[in-house]
Structure 1
């Protein structure tokens, strides 16, 4: 299958600059990067794509078996980069795609030069001293609600995920994105997202890594960002003066600045 059509790959920006690959999170597509991609393209070659099952990807390529774990999505990222013959990639993963980035770097360590983990969470469920932000019963209730009434769940959850209640248009945009997703695919992706536990994978990261979190985030609280930083040797944590789980929409200029400075810096 043609990788570029499977993932609706779009390449913009400079041919001579470093390559930045942008991976979107659950319920979204590459359009969520629309406020940061053009700014990054002035300095870098920027690769955008849709995860299989999202946006304008080839829905015929989706299967519940392949995408029941984040490894399937990570393998897609590796295949995409190999197909485009990309090397020294700066891989930016938003939300659940942050852990896909961690797994992709483990699958093909020579291909990725740096990782940017934007509002990451390696595990959404509280466990002993670890605070993921949700109890197991919270997640079970969330998944049950999604399963019984996906459109209603989308209308309720999207504004919570986005934050910024004083800017309702942001929550409305995310709601519309959720509602464009096939409910059957969304249910599988939600289970994959909210039940995954990738805490043990963080210590395997060997490339320079930037963790970006919002000052306030209902989905990935500040403790999660600090945990990720502590688990990835030599990583850097930047906390934006932003609220919500999608700072690429709520604080695009600050998000661009953090990504661009890190991507352009020389590797020690």
Structure 2
């Protein structure tokens, strides 16, 4: 099986540097359709689906490889080995922010910059000053509900994740995206995602970083972005006035402008 088939890799543009977009849980590469086209005139742009999502090859889903986010980071590096030209800028939404960060730690020489959209290094409050947004009991209940009724869980959680109260079509789209996923794979990926804790890894990433946080986000509260900004050695935090966890869909212009400003300074 080729990397292209495994991850449904799509390449456009022909710039001297590469920008790779990586989607979040329950989504696929189509979620970048409002932002990725803005960069094809300047970069070689790579879109792909995480294994187990979208039009990736589901037969490639290995529960051992993907029992941590490191397996997805290894996939990303393999994609770059085959399709990237020049230095790389990784743009990751939600859990893919950590996937991209892990890749920058594994191969720092490959990366020029990273953009984290609605990121969180850990979703669970630790009682010692870190606020990830959820108590462990909340996460356990979320995962138990998902196990019991995946479609019902998707129908109730996806609209809350999207937010975007004035854009109901986006909320419907995310619900449909969640429901299209293979339930068994989605349940495993959810457990890996929501129980992950990469706070200790964060300071090891020395790649210049833009953290795009929403002003009101159920999944990744402002405290999660503040932690990353404090802990990443070379980071900038930009807060977008937006309700929800998906500003690349509900506030794409504001997201692209923040990226442009960051890249203008970073690439100068």
Shorter-chain TM-score tier: over 0.9
Residue aligning to 2:100: 101
Q: How many residues align?
A: 267
CA-to-partner distance for each residue in 1:230-261, whole Å, 9 max, x for gaps?
00012100001112100011001111112233
Summarize deviations over 1:136-164 as a string: whole Å, max 9, x none: 00000000011111100000000110112
- The answer to whether the aligner puts 1:150 opposite 2:150 as a matched pair is yes
Q: CA deviation at 1:44?
A: 2.1
| Matched ranges for 1:102-251 at <5 A | 102-127=101-126, 128-251=128-251
User: For 1:49-82, what per-residue CA distance to the aligned partner results, in whole angstroms no more than 9, with x for missing partners?
Assistant: 0000111111111111111100000000011001
Q: Give distance in 2, aligned partners of 1:124 and 1:146.
A: 17
Which stretches in structure 2 are left out of the alignment for 5+ residues?
none
Deviations along 1:75-102, one digit per CA (max 9) or x if unpaired, are: 0001100112433100011100000011
Deviation at 1:267, TM superposition (A): 4.3
More displaced 10-residue stretch of structure 1: 79-88 or 201-210: 79-88
Cα distance in 2 between the residues matched to 1:188 and 1:145: 13
Tell me, in whole angstroms, the C-alpha distance in 1 between the residues paired with 2:53 and 2:109: 28
Task: Give the distance between the partners of 1:20 and 1:267, measured in 2 at CA.
Answer: 13
Q: Is 1:72 equivalent to 2:68 in the alignment? A: no
Report deviation, 1:198.
0.3
CA distance in 1, matches of 2:2, 2:261: 33
TM-score by length of structure 1 reads 0.96
Q: Matched residues in 1 for 2:29 and 2:91: separation?
A: 12
Contact 1:90 1:263 in 2 (8 A): no
1: CA distance, partners of 2:174 / 2:26: 8
Q: Which residue of 2 aligns with 1:91?
A: 90
CA distance in 2, matches of 1:35, 1:205: 28
Q: What's 1:16 paired with? A: 15
Partner Cα separation in structure 2 for residue 195 and residue 266 of structure 1: 33
Instruction: Give SS of 1:133's match.
Output: coil
Quick one: distance in 2 between partners of 1:168 and 1:222? 24
Q: What is the TM-score when the length of structure 2 is the normalising length?
A: 0.96
SS at the partner of 1:53? coil
State how far apart, in whole Å, the 1-side matches of 2:204 and 2:267 are: 18
Is the Cα contact below 8 Å between 2:49 and 2:55 reproduced in 1? Answer: yes
The superposition leaves residues 16-73 of structure 1 with CA deviations (integer Å, 9 ceiling, x where unpaired) of 3431100000000001101111122233221100000111111111111111100000
Shift of 1:177: 0.5
Q: Secondary structure, in 3 states, of the residue corresponding to 1:169?
A: helix
The CA deviation string for residues 87-132 of structure 1, in whole angstroms up to 9 with x for no partner, is 3100011100000011111111111111111110000000121000
Is the 1:120–1:225 contact (alpha carbons within 8 Å) kept by the matching residues of 2? yes
Q: Secondary structure at the match of 2:72?
A: helix
In structure 2, do the counterparts of structure 1 residues 166 and 267 end up closer, same or farther at CA, with 3 Å as the change threshold? closer
For 1:58, the equivalent position in structure 2 comes to 57
